[in-house]
Structure 1
């Protein structure tokens, strides 16, 4: 196999650096009109014909010989069977990863709270888990048991009563690792459907697929488009863009390590993005040489090559301070601080989905077993959003109890503000409760 890279080289000192960086980072998840209309038609069919539409779409799109919806349902016993079909080493790895993910997410649980004011007024917050969550899992060759753990375990830790998983099985291809992960993570029901039709079924419910409150998990352009359309009917986690990694290095890490860290994201797909930022120009040259040396050894060399050539970059900066500024400007999904003292720079990192500290902490550890969630904001959305977590499966209700004295005192304030907004009924409702006043 012949592969070659022509990874972009940028220098933060160049006058047009900002323009070149913006161009490099630009990515739009835009469905064309054909995809959009097809998804709308699928959603409409599932809403109108329920299970029958699911069976027909699964036959057509996945090549599965399903006669009824019963052929697309996997019970708990089937998930437990998957545990026996994977190797002992695989089961041990899944269980260890699941345990670490569970321990980490237990710390995210929020509790209800209240406090009482001097006049007896009680204010607080009630935290309640969602009733039911839907988990979309890609199927076939693009199967990710790690995503099952990362999506299902936080939901269970949050206290979600039922987690429903949908996973396509193209041409009947079942991934035992995915099913084993579902068993370990505590998934309650599994339907072997995928695509926009699976999203529609979760959002609106069918005779067999229960309606959920929130849909999480990755998928292709049809899945992403469907999630956009059903948002509001249900909650969604995010519309994720291509995977991305930004490595900030002081030039002292083994260049082969850094090259492989860049590959770890580039191998996802051609649109994935891998960027290295360093003040050491000679080190950037060494990493470029490592890329060329190691690329022919990779199983997914063609994908990596297209990703590196299309959206990758080696960026030279003035110093580490400017490297951090560039990192915050990019707001990456994954940020590796491959430096001598990462803790010293951590306070200056404002925007990143996950931060990997030090030379020995590869991003791959976070993908599988470190503990924190690998479902992260992409395409610069780390500026305003966070990793998936327990808090995504909990909702908060405000608690307000007013004593007689408290209602009277607050009534004066509410009355003034309500009348200032010309909302007389609001004002009089509050005024009725003011002591010695019955309203006007």
Structure 2
């Protein structure tokens, strides 16, 4: 079911990686999904422009075309939110409440306080943390109603102190043109009362430009399909709105040795393949026996799962596979090259190998920390960088909803102390007006 990439013997035809290449030597050989956002940008460009010009009318037209629903307004009524919460399964409500409690605790721990640095008498530079004024949160509702993404987007925004939160999710024909009722219930549970029934590129444009009852936002966060991601790239590139990331199809990598339980590994690979036919599931191991056992387990587990075709398509795609390595040292290099959204370490002394990982959205250590724990109740955030972006980007957190502002306070004497330095540096850059702006304060030149 999973293809095999054997890295145990160096390819003599391959170019030399270089003495200090390390994990970078494997970047081009690890499995990857094909995810051409740039091509998708051209597809969504007219949709985004239409929403800019025609506003809510355009959003409703696209809901009719793409989602098969007719709407009088994209705004979700308050009564629909209340009814969804009242009808929520008690077990699901309990799970959401615990997920909210744990994530809120870690978000409060992440909050950064302002700083103040006194550089000399009368010379102070302070850093003030300022929450975003208004944000738009996108929750996918196509293949699966990702109620957990409501929690993952809303809680850090609330803890950061964001003043105004708008949330949007795809309208569902089966639910009267509203988002899935579980998504609405989670919004009500969290106290989010500005909710819209809009999905895809048109929803991102609605949040960015404003449309109908939705005022423009400063930042859009949340994962989505390729056209949603393309709209985020387009609007961010035009300077219309900030974004958290360009999250692509979900992915999991597992670094495992012969001590790992094949049933655990197979179940975890399957769990991410369940998300999307383009999801990536990658096992990196130095044990051919484990690899064989995991493939055998997958045959059994996939046959018994609910979404067989979706899972099988993901597992047999070019984005998934088994990577055989000489030893776990090489395995660490390979997973650092892959830079997984989710990385599990199922080895002996798993914590020591986890400490050597520098590129991952989130790391799950040991056999009893599966990715699905992080999806719901670990207390971590599951909105994470994909497609190798974990080598330079972080997952969604309180920090995404905060801006740092430097406040500079200098007295006359403090400025005098560095005035000559400012003038010298300004002259070095051939910007004499910069120096003059200091000199004039002391009656010079």
TM-score by length of 1: 0.92
1:301 is aligned, of 298, 301, 308, to: 308
Partner deviation per Cα, 1:293-341 (whole Å, 9 max, x = no partner):
2221111222222222222222222222221121112111111111232
Deviation at 1:439, TM superposition (A): 2.5
Deviation at 1:39, TM superposition (A): 1.9
Deviation at 1:230, TM superposition (A): 0.8
Partner deviation per Cα, 1:344-378 (whole Å, 9 max, x = no partner):
22331111110001111111100111011001111
**Is the CA contact (8 Å cut-off) linking 2:38 and 2:230 kept in structure 1?**
no
Gaps of 5+ in 1: none
Q: Does residue 274 of structure 1 match 2:281?
A: yes
**Residues 80, 278 of structure 1: CA spacing in aligned structure 2 closer, same or farther, 3 A cutoff?**
same
**Is the CA contact (8 Å cut-off) linking 2:260 and 2:290 kept in structure 1?**
no
**Is the CA contact (8 Å cut-off) linking 1:336 and 1:355 kept in structure 2?**
yes
Please give the residue correspondences for 1:38-57 in structure 2 after superposition, counting only pairs within 5 Å: 38-57=43-62
1:426 paired residue number: 434
Partner deviation per Cα, 1:363-407 (whole Å, 9 max, x = no partner):
110011101100111111111111110000000111111111111
TM-score by length of 2: 0.91
Deviation at 1:142, TM superposition (A): 2.3
Please give the residue correspondences for 1:142-181 in structure 2 after superposition, counting only pairs within 5 Å: 142-171=144-173, 173=175, 174-181=179-186
Partner deviation per Cα, 1:39-79 (whole Å, 9 max, x = no partner):
22222222222222222222332222223x2xx21244432
Q: Which moved more, 1:35-44 or 1:87-96?
A: 35-44
Q: Does residue 397 of structure 1 match 2:405?
A: yes
Deviation at 1:139, TM superposition (A): 2.5
The whole-number CA distance in structure 1 between the counterparts of 2:143 and 2:36 is 25
**Is the CA contact (8 Å cut-off) linking 1:8 and 1:309 kept in structure 2?**
no
Deviation at 1:119, TM superposition (A): 1.6
2:370 is aligned, of 356, 362, 382, to: 362
Please give the residue correspondences for 1:247-326 in structure 2 after superposition, counting only pairs within 5 Å: 247-310=254-317, 311-326=319-334
2:7 is aligned, of 11, 18, 37, to: 11
The whole-number CA distance in structure 1 between the counterparts of 2:430 and 2:2 is 65
The whole-number CA distance in structure 1 between the counterparts of 2:28 and 2:54 is 45
The whole-number CA distance in structure 1 between the counterparts of 2:356 and 2:87 is 47
Q: Does residue 25 of structure 1 match 2:31?
A: yes
The whole-number CA distance in structure 2 between the counterparts of 1:31 and 1:319 is 35
Please give the residue correspondences for 1:8-407 in structure 2 after superposition, counting only pairs within 5 Å: 8-15=4-11, 22-31=28-37, 35-67=40-72, 69=73, 72-171=74-173, 173=175, 174-231=179-236, 232-310=239-317, 311-407=319-415
Deviation at 1:417, TM superposition (A): 0.5
Deviation at 1:21, TM superposition (A): 6.8
2:422 is aligned, of 408, 414, 417, to: 414
The whole-number CA distance in structure 1 between the counterparts of 2:276 and 2:266 is 17
Partner deviation per Cα, 1:190-231 (whole Å, 9 max, x = no partner):
111122221111101124111001011122222111111110
